[in-house]
Amino acid sequence: MQTTTGKRQEQWTIQRVLEEKPGNSIELRGCIHHIRDMAEFAFIILRRYDGTVQCVLDAARMDIAAQELTDGMCVAVTGPVAFDQRAPHGFELRVESLRVLSRPTGALEAPVHKYKLNLGLESDLNVRPVSLRNLRKRAVFKIQEGIVRGFREFLHGEGFTEIHSPKIVKVGAEGGANIFKLDYFGQKAFLAQSPQFYKQTMVGVFDRVFEVGPVFRAEKHATTRHLNEYTSLDFEMGYIDSFADVMEMETAMLQHVMAVLKSEYAPQLELLSVALPKVESIPQVTFVRAKEMVAEKYNRKIRDPHDLEPEEEQLIGQLFQEEYGADFVFVTHYPTKKRPFYAMDDPEDPKHTLSFDLLLRGMEVTTGGQRIHDYDMQIAKMERLHMNVADFESYLMAHKNGLPPHGGLGIGLERLTMKLIGESNIREATLFPRDINRLIP
């Protein structure tokens, strides 16, 4: 009887080469990122998940001609390792034999080996399966991986439980028109705009929960900072004393994320010249005060007293950068009008909520706050807002059966990535973005 035992392929990794410093022959597999044929010698830059490796082909000693090799071929190269400080990772492989594992059909649709691709964004997105092979493009998504790892790792350590909530729902959490509709076996259904209801419900079960998953917003405008589908990092925590506990938790989480990036994603940060934001302490300012400060400092009229315009967010970022050297700013106490029905009003000032946004370098990357946990208080607020309470019966079951005081937040992963790496369009921080005009790749 044939069995599997969990034995993995014996494959060399760059790390193993560096640790063992072998003189003997090794085999490395990867994709020909670029080949330069110099008549007597050819240099191959082999692209692997763990970096690039320089390989040298001596034409005289090979049974394969360098001319037969092209960018985009996947190969297995064998030969001894030679140390060379000029090569990536300080070594090169002197190829003695080479096996072609697969071939592209012709020239690549983008010159992925270039340092900068120099494709316009639309062209880039059109050939995304190829353009992502560019080292700087893919580095963005390694950093994104690091953010998510740090987020989860930190919250797990703080006693949060990971959940998976449904994305096909009967009622939207945010309400409004920006929701995708769906025919669900004859019933009207929606795509979840956030896991809000479920994470609050699960606070009643696990006290502290988090979720990383897709959310869907049918926003009809195309901007540089909106997607119609994005990845939301959500957490919700019970037994808080105030919404400040949520902000402190996010601060500690971000400190952990930055530490993870710094220690485990240094090559990617360097490749993209990313300066990590300061997270030791994050200033707080109320919504009303932030608006005033910006109006005063930049001699700007307050047009919408109930919301922050994108330009105001940007100026708040600028002001706190200039005056306090801060990359992040918590803006607190948003107007009740502009927050969802589950937001807890400030008992001392019911026109404002116990809520916050977190801005990074002048753009909102998190929305959070304390939620209403008391059933009667929630019903009263919904009635004030003329909502149909019956539609929310299964959500309100959690309140009815008792929920601890709680709060939480949602972070847009692509937004956070975008601001972290200093890109100006959110699509740059999304593998395969969805916007009003784009459904492929």
At closest approach, how far in Å is the CB of 301 from a second copy?
25
CA distances from 189 to 76, 183, 211, 213, 394 (A): 50, 6, 21, 19, 15
Question: Does 50 participate in binding a second copy (rule CB under 8 A)?
Answer: yes
Q: Kindly report the number of other CB atoms within 10 A of residue 198's CB atom.
A: 22
Q: Which stretch binds a second copy (CB under 8 A): 88-96, 241-249, 344-352, 362-370?
A: 241-249
Contacts 24+ apart (CB under 8 A), 79-86: 79/25, 79/26, 79/55, 80/22, 80/23, 80/24, 80/25, 80/26, 81/17, 81/21, 81/22, 81/23, 81/26, 83/21, 84/54
Contacts with 128 (C-beta within 8 Å, 6 or more apart), sequence order:
431, 432, 441
Question: Does 59 participate in binding a second copy (rule CB under 8 A)?
Answer: no
Number of chain positions touching a second copy (CB under 8 A): 126
At closest approach, how far in Å is the CB of 303 from a second copy?
26
In the range 315-354, which residues lie near a second copy by CB under 8 A? 324, 330
**DSSP assignment of 27-67:** EEEEEEEEEEEETTEEEEEEEETTEEEEEEEEGGG-SS-GG
In the range 189-218, which residues lie near a second copy by CB under 8 A? 189, 191, 198, 201-202, 204-208, 213-214, 216, 218
Helix runs in 385-428, H state only? 393-400, 413-421
Name the residue nearer to a second copy (CB basis): 201 or 353.
Answer: 201
Interface characters, 369-388, with a second copy (x: CB under 8 A): ----xxxx------------
At closest approach, how far in Å is the CB of 387 from a second copy?
17
At closest approach, how far in Å is the CB of 273 from a second copy?
21
In the range 254-273, which residues lie near a second copy by CB under 8 A? 254-255
Name the residue nearer to a second copy (CB basis): 91 or 320.
Answer: 320
Name the residue nearer to a second copy (CB basis): 180 or 341.
Answer: 180
At closest approach, how far in Å is the CB of 60 from a second copy?
27
Q: Kindly report the number of other CB atoms within 10 A of residue 202's CB atom.
A: 21
Question: Does 229 participate in binding a second copy (rule CB under 8 A)?
Answer: yes
